[in-house]
């Protein structure tokens, strides 16, 4: 695969309607990707939506820069287990596995971005984990991973929830899982991906309610 540059400048704000991005075949039959951001060839820093057809698998590989993934639909598998919808997995730098899906699945996947000394593998079944109240009424948070300045979480917004204007030290990345997320820059229904650079600011809210997957502090 030739090197690609898709929303690769981390100092620029990026917004992508993931549902409008065409599926592209990966090197493995039955595995396709919607590329949201990418910097490199087959071994790239990348954020993608990945779809496994039933019975497909990917060849064994090492994650030099680590991997985070979230199961959006179906059941994802590797030699360490099976993971249903709502499962978050962090595979640290240097880890290896042979992923597959007997029944098919759709994943949010982020590659080659973790700190090299972050060595903890995490698996979180978010459907069986308690949420905690957020900083404002109507906001609920489920923390998934924290290491140094980097934090990954699910955030649930009740309809009509508003958050104060704030600045993102280390940047922020959002994938809208359900509902509609909003700020003064636009309206982002489910399937949208947003990246706001280091020291950017906004005033987010949700009139309709939403659930978002959020990563912060990793864009310095």
- CA–CA gap between residue 147 and residue 37 (Å, rounded): 22
Residue ranges per structural domain of the chain: 19-125, 130-216
Query: Global pTM?
Result: 0.96
pLDDT at 220: 83
Q: Is the backbone of residue 128 left (phi > 0), alpha (psi -120 to 50) or beta?
A: alpha
State the pLDDT at residue 61. 85
Write out the chain's pLDDT in tens, 220 residues: 677 899 999 999 999 999 999 999 999 999 999 999 999 877 778 999 999 999 999 888 888 899 999 999 999 999 999 999 999 999 999 999 999 999 999 999 999 899 999 999 999 999 999 999 999 999 999 999 999 999 999 999 999 999 999 999 999 999 999 999 999 999 999 999 999 999 999 999 999 999 999 999 999 8
Per CATH, the homologous superfamily of domain 130-216 is Jelly Rolls (2.60.120.10)
H/E element holding 193? strand 192-196
Domains 19-125 and 130-216 are alike in CATH topology:
yes
- Secondary-structure class of domain 19-125 per CATH: mainly beta
User: By the 8 A CB rule, do 75 and 82 touch?
Assistant: yes
């Amino acid at each position: 695969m030739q090197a690609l540059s898709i929303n690769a400048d981390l100092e620029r704000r990026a917004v992508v309607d993931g549902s409008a991005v065409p599926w592209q075949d990966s090197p493995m039959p039955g595995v396709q990707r919607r590329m949201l951001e990418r910097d490199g060839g087959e071994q790239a820093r990348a954020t993608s939506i990945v779809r496994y057809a039933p019975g497909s698998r990917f060849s064994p590989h090492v994650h030099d820069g680590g991997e985070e993934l979230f199961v959006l639909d179906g059941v994802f598998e590797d030699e360490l287990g099976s993971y249903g919808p709502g499962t978050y997995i962090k595979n640290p730098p240097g880890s290896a596995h042979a992923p597959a899906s007997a029944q098919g699945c759709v994943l949010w996947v982020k590659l080659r971005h973790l700190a090299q000394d972050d060595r903890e593998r995490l698996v979180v079944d978010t459907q069986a984990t308690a949420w905690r109240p957020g900083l404002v009424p109507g906001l609920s948070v489920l923390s998934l991973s924290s290491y140094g300045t980097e934090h990954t979480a699910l955030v649930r917004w009740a309809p009509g929830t508003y958050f104060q204007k704030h600045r993102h030290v280390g940047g922020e990345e959002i994938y809208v899982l359900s509902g509609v997320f909003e700020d003064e820059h636009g309206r982002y229904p489910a399937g949208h991906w947003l990246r706001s650079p280091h020291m950017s600011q906004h005033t987010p809210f949700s009139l309709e309610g939403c659930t978002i997957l959020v990563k912060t502090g990793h864009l310095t």
